[in-house]
Amino acid sequence: MNDSYMQNLFAERIGGKNYGKSTAIYKFEKIKRAKRAALAAHPGAEIFDLGVGEPDEMAFPEVVAKLDEEARRPENRGYADNGDSVLKEAAARYLDRVCGVKGINPETEVLHSIGSKAALSILPAALVNPGDYVLMTTPGYPVFGTHSKYYGGLVHQLPLLEQNGFLPDLESIPKDVLARSKVLVLNYPNNPTGASATPEFFARVVAFAKANRLIVLHDAAYAALVFEGKPLSFLATPGAKDVGVELHSTSKSFNMTGWRCGFVAGNELLVRAYGDVKDNSDSGQFLAIQHAAAYCLDHPEITEKIAAKYSRRMTGLVNVLQKCGFKAVKPKGSFFLYVKAPLAATSGKGARLEFKNAEEVSQWLITEKLISTVPWDDAGSYLRFSVTFAAKGQDDEERVLDEIGKRLGEVRFEF
Ligand SMILES: Cc1ncc(COP(=O)(O)O)c(C=O)c1O
């Protein structure tokens, strides 16, 4: 078929004339295809999906009831634009009560987002000029970097290595890159490593940002999902508000991925700039959803219940994987367990298979064991297991974990 004239009109940032012609298959598509093939090869068999990056359950009934009530109010029906004060005030209370962040001004230092992904796609427009560097951690959630590149920005990747507790080595940034850098993006508890930051690390980040005139964006999508103690907010660090903002989301902490609601809080000027671009990008999240999200922020015990479930599942999964030889260590938060990928596997029948990388392991696990994980080969080869696998109650959860143990127990792994 001849190309339509349209083929020549795409922007270079999405491939220009070659847009849509690539035959490369990306990681998540490969996983999907392998799952489909495994099911076709084993009709009726149960696949355990530990690859999903979102909660397995619905929002709590009281939150759904709040949405129902708010959706019926005529005054909530229209464009929300940059929002009313309900979510802003709840966010400031939440930061104070749950994270110990004092003195956030709800009117000037908080603004809602249609989820953190949307905020991460909006913020580059406010900050990145062509040729500016942004500092991102790898492996990681790439959205801010992708949009920065759309604006002509450059991404410098900071590897998250086990020997550094999966915290970036800020001293490793080449001087010329640092001189042209504007933004440092962090995410703790981290996707995919499950690692948590420390107050000391955040204090170093604030000092580093001030010394090098950097803006810090802390993506706190998993911040509230902690297995012990209180959530650690970057904004609780002295001086943090001088250098950055933090992005919170109801997606993971309140089982509300589809609802699309979160907030950006911190430095007033940055919040204002985010609001100015946002105002030109969307017309705000439905006020009924914002008000239901505000209800959540005033009920952090919901998150505590969700985190307790993940903590229990995580303990079970760590035990199962340890018994099979994986060096699994329970993280302090999130729902991700990040473990070194094996180099080889010998099955019960004696066949030994070597793996080049985590992607090969992940494909093999789906095909041979019907266990889905997400491979990461960006900084070492690791598998990400998520404890958001489907299970109906605690007994079923134990059954799933036992079955995973049986399937993996038939194999001798080499690391
Ligand atoms: C690190 C990280 N940030 C942001 C998001 C997106 O969150 P939201 O649903 O609030 O857009 C995700 C979702 O997977 C994530 O893992």
Instruction: Give the whole-number percent of the chain exceeding pLDDT 70.
Output: 99
pLDDT surpasses 90 at 347? no
Cβ atoms of residues 300 and 99 within 8 Å? no
Q: How many of the other CB atoms lie within 10 Å of CB of 213?
A: 11
> How many Cα atoms sit within 13 Å of 266 on the Cβ side?
28
Cβ atoms of residues 60 and 302 within 8 Å? yes
Q: What is the pLDDT of residues 196-214, one digit of tens each?
A: 999 999 999 999 999 999 9
Q: How far is CA 278 from CA 118, 147, 326, in A?
A: 9, 14, 44
Distance, CA 215 to ligand 1 centroid (Å)? 20
Cβ atoms of residues 248 and 91 within 8 Å? yes
Question: Can you tell me which atom of ligand 1 is nearest the CA of 257?
Answer: 9
Cβ atoms of residues 341 and 357 within 8 Å? yes
Q: Is the CB of 359 under 6 A from ligand 1?
A: no
Question: Can you tell me which atom of ligand 1 is nearest the CA of 117?
Answer: 11
Which of 113, 117, 120, 336 gets mutated to test ligand 1 (max ligand atoms within 8 A of its CB)?
A: 117
pLDDT surpasses 80 at 336? yes
Determine the pLDDT at residue 124: 98
Amino acid at 225: L
Distance, CA 116 to ligand 1 centroid (Å)? 6
Strands 181-186 and 133-138, by their bridges, are parallel
Distance, CA 117 to ligand 1 centroid (Å)? 6
Distance, CA 142 to ligand 1 centroid (Å)? 10
> What is the band of 163 on the pLDDT scale with cuts at 50, 70, 90?
very high
Sheet order of strands, 262-266 included: 110-113, 262-266, 244-249, 215-219, 181-186, 133-138, 154-159
Q: What is the pLDDT of residues 220-268, one digit of tens each?
A: 999 999 999 899 999 999 999 999 999 999 999 999 999 999 999 999 9
Determine the pLDDT at residue 2: 60
Question: End-to-end distance of the chain based on CA atoms, in angstroms?
Answer: 49
Mean pLDDT of 134-145: 98
Q: Is the CB of 55 under 6 A from ligand 1?
A: no
Distance of CA 230 to the CA centre of its chain: 19
Q: What is the pLDDT of residues 90-131, one digit of tens each?
A: 999 999 999 999 999 999 999 999 999 999 999 999 999 999
- From 171, 201, 176, 175, select the one nearest 187 (Cα to Cα): 201
Q: Is the CB of 241 under 6 A from ligand 1?
A: no
> What is the band of 350 on the pLDDT scale with cuts at 50, 70, 90?
confident
Determine the pLDDT at residue 196: 97
Which H or E run contains 155? strand 154-159
Determine the pLDDT at residue 348: 77
Instruction: Give the whole-number percent of the chain exceeding pLDDT 90.
Output: 95
pTM attached to this predicted model? 0.97
Q: What is the pLDDT of residues 284-311, one digit of tens each?
A: 999 999 999 999 999 999 999 999 999 9
Q: How many of the other CB atoms lie within 10 Å of CB of 182?
A: 18
**Dihedral over alpha carbons 125, 127, 129, 130 (to 10 degrees):** -80
**CB within 8 Å of 322: residues ≥ 6 apart:** 328
Q: What is the pLDDT of residues 51-86, one digit of tens each?
A: 989 999 999 999 999 999 999 999 999 999 999 999
**Tokens coding 392:** 């109906």
On average, the pLDDT of the chain sits at 96
Q: Is the CB of 285 under 6 A from ligand 1?
A: no
Q: Is the CB of 257 under 6 A from ligand 1?
A: yes
Determine the pLDDT at residue 1: 54
Cβ atoms of residues 221 and 187 within 8 Å? yes
DSSP code at position 324: T
Cβ atoms of residues 142 and 192 within 8 Å? no
CA-CA distance, 197 to 17, in Å (whole number)?
43
